[in-house]
Amino acid sequence: MILKSPALGFAPLEASVLRAYISAARKLSPSIPRELEEYIATAYSSIRQEEAKSNSPHSYLHHYQNASQHINFTCSAEVLGCGGSE
């Protein structure tokens, strides 16, 4: 059986382009202008307050729980000698 990767729907970048982009990005030091700090803090606080009021799971918590379960499974499997690591 021959397995094929699914169609990407776009042309991937060449490795040399990615390397150049990463090299240029490492030279930058992004910062948030002082006049935006209060706005961002207020917006973040509002989002968290709305999440606290809702009954739906929070996206950050969902990702943490999935990662935590995977780690626990992997550790348990290794203790039992079943492998478990990918």
Residue 58, pLDDT score: 61
Specify the residue for token string 């776009």: 10
Whole-angstrom distance, CA of residue 40 vs CA of residue 31: 13
Token pair recorded at residue 64? 């943490």
Residue 64, pLDDT score: 52
Q: Identify the segments of the chain with pLDDT beneath 70.
A: 56-86
Whole-angstrom distance, CA of residue 55 vs CA of residue 61: 13
pTM of the predicted structure, to 2 decimals: 0.37
- CA angle at 78 for the pair 76 and 83, rounded to the nearest 5°: 120
